[in-house]
């Protein structure tokens, strides 16, 4: 059979992940704050987009200046209120005076003799025009861990590659200052040799406060002891056996460290003086306020009303008036192409936001339908639920439901919960009935422990027996895992604490 080249037409269907489709998928998992930042960026790039202002947010018309006001020595620009001055001045100049005249520091005083008095009267503690303000009264911004490390990285490394690696290591620290990511994985991600990353990591471990960039508690304490020149072989042996210290097995520690009881007590005193969380002393990064995306209310007919929170709805419109005006003036092909791209991007954004809102309501409504017993009767009636069940009920893909429920919150009559809270594993029923939610089982375990007395502390086996009598088939190791996850000590520790409290009383 001879081979020959020929042309054929073939028609097929395929799903193409365009950049706009990928961005639409990202919009689903944005939090309210992330969505607002994204919309601000789009408005900055696209002149056809604008935020829709509520009636209450619209600015009041400004009063026109009158001859009487000018005769009294008041200028049009400067009033007694500093905030009003700054706002009106920025509206006129679209910049600050220092940006317009960077080489003339006295421009403020020449423009208005009263401006310096205005600043003093607004910022001074006494409130009179003749008094100045103290810079010490202005609170300085709190220094975060990232701010401190950025400054130390700038002075600690001269090569740009080492600075990049150090910055990546700093981004991988948790709030306590520990390096939780695997250095080998970080090296592979950055495309550098592991030895180079280890060298940079060793240099970063010399930063202040000592103990940062440690990969474990033992290494954190070792870094601090090394800085104090106290990391001898006995102390090293103690750090390698911190589990024995947690169990208070002092006999084994004396044997492993090769010290007597007095030396061990001194070593433990040095350990107590160290900081196990060196990064916790810095200011936090500023936690964002949780704003519920969905509000659930009881309807008059006995059902639940599910609606989006109006405060989280992005108000974005396409300025049709401006579009008509610029379209009439577009002459060149480049202008027309740019305008077409802006129209397409603006239309896509408004449609994507509308689809995002519809999808959130759809998923939230199904969650409410599945967890109706929880909303009515409390956490003990929380049903087992997974993403697949919700996805099949609303005929969506499981990954879509996963994105919608990420970092979204629902306000219910029983409080504000993350949407992921309603998805819990199933624990089989001992009597062959409906399965129980893992969240409700945790609640029962905590409730039983809270109600126990000093003379009748429940062991994990006793909790298993009680749960099985109430129809919950659960293993002892599962009870222990749930108990430890809720930071509840063992029965032996609880009995000891209750006896100590009873003796103190």
Q: What is the pLDDT of residue 187?
A: 82
Other C-beta atoms closer than 10 Å to the C-beta of 141 total 7
Q: Nearest CA to 271 among 251, 305, 241? A: 241
The 3-state DSSP class for residue 287 equals coil
User: Residue 123, CB half-sphere, CA atoms under 13 Å: how many?
Assistant: 14
pLDDT of the residue at 108: 43
- Side-chain-side CA neighbours of 322 within 13 Å: the count stands at 11
Q: Tell me the β-bridge partners of 456.
A: 453
Q: In this structure, are residues 326 and 339 in contact, taking their beta carbons and an 8 Å threshold?
A: yes
Sheet holding 294-298, edge to edge: 304-308, 294-298, 409-412, 415-418
Question: Which value, to the nearest 10 degrees, does the dihedral of the CA atoms of residues 221, 226, 228, 232 take?
Answer: 100
Between helix 387-394 and helix 398-405 the angle, nearest 10°, is 110
Instruction: Name the residue among 351, 357, 356, 346 with its Cα closest to residue 43.
Output: 346
Task: Return the pLDDT at 93.
Answer: 39
**Cβ–Cβ under 8 Å, residues 309 and 411:** yes
Closest to 356 measured CA to CA, from 42, 19, 27, 20 = 27
For residue 304, CA distances in Å to 107, 153, 300, 365, 389 come to: 62, 54, 9, 9, 20
Contact of 384 with 425, CB cutoff 8 Å:
yes
Alpha-carbon span 357 to 469, nearest angstrom? 45
Q: State pTM to two decimals.
A: 0.50
Smallest Cα–Cα separation from 404: which of 385, 420, 425?
Answer: 420
What pLDDT score does 436 carry? 73
Which uninterrupted H or E stretch holds 425?
A: none
281 three-class SS: helix
Domain boundaries, the chain: 157-282, 294-424, 436-503
277-281: long-range contacts, CB 8 A cutoff, minimum separation 24: 277/176, 277/177, 278/176, 278/177, 278/209, 278/210, 278/211, 278/212, 278/220, 278/224, 279/145, 279/173, 279/174, 279/175, 279/176, 279/177, 279/178, 279/209, 279/212, 280/175, 280/176, 280/177, 281/209
- Helix residue ranges, H only, 58-135: 67-71, 82-93, 97-100, 107-111, 115-123
List Cβ neighbours of 336 (8 Å cut-off, separation of 6 or more). 330
- Strand residues in 206-303 grouped as ranges (E): 294-298
pLDDT in single tens digits along all 505 residues of the chain? 567 787 888 887 765 556 666 777 778 888 888 888 888 888 888 888 888 765 444 445 444 444 444 444 433 333 333 344 434 434 443 444 444 334 444 444 444 444 333 333 333 444 444 444 444 444 455 678 888 888 888 888 888 888 888 888 888 888 888 888 888 888 887 778 888 888 888 898 888 888 888 888 888 999 998 888 888 888 888 888 888 888 778 888 888 888 888 888 888 888 888 888 888 877 554 555 778 999 999 988 888 999 999 888 888 888 888 888 888 877 788 888 888 888 888 888 888 888 899 999 999 999 999 988 888 888 778 888 888 889 999 998 888 888 888 888 999 988 888 898 888 777 766 665 557 778 788 888 888 888 888 778 888 888 888 888 888 888 888 888 888 888 888 888 888 777 766 655 5
At 496 the pLDDT is 78
Determine the Cα–Cα distance for residues 124 and 77; give it in Å rounded to an integer.
21
Instruction: Name 22's Cβ contacts closer than 8 Å, sequence gap at least 6.
Output: none
Closest to 187 measured CA to CA, from 212, 156, 165, 161: 165
Query: SS3 helix, strand, coil % of the chain, rounded to 5?
Result: 55, 10, 35
Give the per-residue pLDDT at 504. 52
How buried is residue 8: exposed, middle or buried, by Cβ count under 10 Å (0-12/13-18/19+)?
exposed
Alpha-carbon radius of gyration of the chain: 33
What pLDDT is attached to residue 294?
A: 92
- How many other C-beta atoms can be found within 10 angstroms of the C-beta atom of residue 28? 21
The class level of CATH for 436-503 reads mainly alpha
């Amino acid at each position: 059979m001879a081979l020959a080249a020929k042309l054929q037409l073939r028609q097929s269907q395929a799903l193409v992940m365009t950049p706009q489709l990928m961005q639409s998928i990202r919009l689903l998992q944005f939090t309210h704050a992330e969505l607002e930042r994204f919309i601000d960026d789009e408005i900055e790039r696209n002149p056809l987009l604008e935020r829709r202002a509520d009636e209450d947010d619209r600015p009041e018309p400004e009063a026109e200046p009158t001859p009487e006001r000018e005769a009294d020595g008041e200028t049009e620009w400067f009033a007694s209120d500093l905030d009003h001055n700054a706002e009106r001045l920025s509206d006129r100049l679209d910049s600050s005076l220092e940006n317009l005249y960077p080489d003339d520091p006295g421009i403020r005083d020449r423009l208005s003799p009263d401006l310096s008095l205005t600043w003093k009267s607004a910022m001074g503690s006494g409130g009179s025009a003749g008094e100045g303000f103290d810079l010490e009264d202005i609170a300085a911004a709190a220094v975060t861990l990232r701010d401190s490390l950025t400054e130390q990285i700038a002075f600690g490394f001269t090569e740009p590659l080492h600075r990049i690696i150090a910055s990546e290591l700093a981004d991988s620290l948790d709030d306590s200052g520990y390096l939780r990511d695997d250095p080998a994985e970080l090296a592979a991600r950055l495309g550098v040799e592991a030895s180079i990353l280890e060298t940079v990591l060793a240099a970063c471990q010399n930063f202040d406060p000592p103990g940062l960039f440690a990969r474990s508690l033992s290494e954190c304490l070792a870094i601090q002891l090394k800085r104090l020149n106290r990391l001898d072989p006995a102390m090293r042996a103690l750090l390698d056996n911190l589990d024995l210290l947690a169990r208070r097995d002092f006999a084994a520690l004396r044997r492993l460290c090769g010290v007597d009881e007095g030396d061990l007590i001194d070593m433990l005193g040095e350990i107590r003086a160290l900081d196990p969380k060196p990064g916790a002393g810095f200011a936090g990064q500023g936690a964002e306020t949780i704003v519920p995306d969905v509000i659930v209310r009881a309807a008059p007919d006995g059902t639940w009303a599910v609606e989006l929170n109006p405060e989280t709805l992005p108000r974005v419109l396409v300025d049709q008036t401006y579009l008509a005006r610029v379209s009439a003036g577009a002459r060149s092909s480049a202008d027309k192409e740019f305008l077409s791209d802006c129209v397409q991007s603006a239309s896509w954004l408004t449609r994507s936001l509308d689809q995002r809102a519809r999808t959130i309501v759809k998923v939230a409504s199904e969650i409410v339908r599945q967890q109706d017993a929880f909303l009515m009767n409390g956490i003990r009636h929380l049903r087992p639920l997974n993403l697949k069940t919700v996805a099949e009920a609303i005929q969506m893909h499981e990954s879509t439901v996963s994105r919608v429920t990420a970092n979204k919150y629902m306000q219910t009559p029983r409080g504000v919960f993350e949407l992921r809270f309603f998805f819990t594993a199933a624990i089989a029923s001992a009597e062959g009935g409906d399965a129980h939610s893992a969240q409700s089982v945790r609640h029962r375990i905590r409730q039983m422990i809270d109600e126990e007395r000093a003379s009748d502390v429940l062991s994990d086996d006793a909790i298993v027996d009680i749960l099985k009598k109430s129809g919950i088939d659960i293993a002892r190791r599962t009870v222990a895992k749930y108990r430890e996850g809720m930071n509840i000590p063992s029965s032996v520790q609880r009995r000891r604490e209750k006896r100590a409290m009873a003796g103190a009383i």
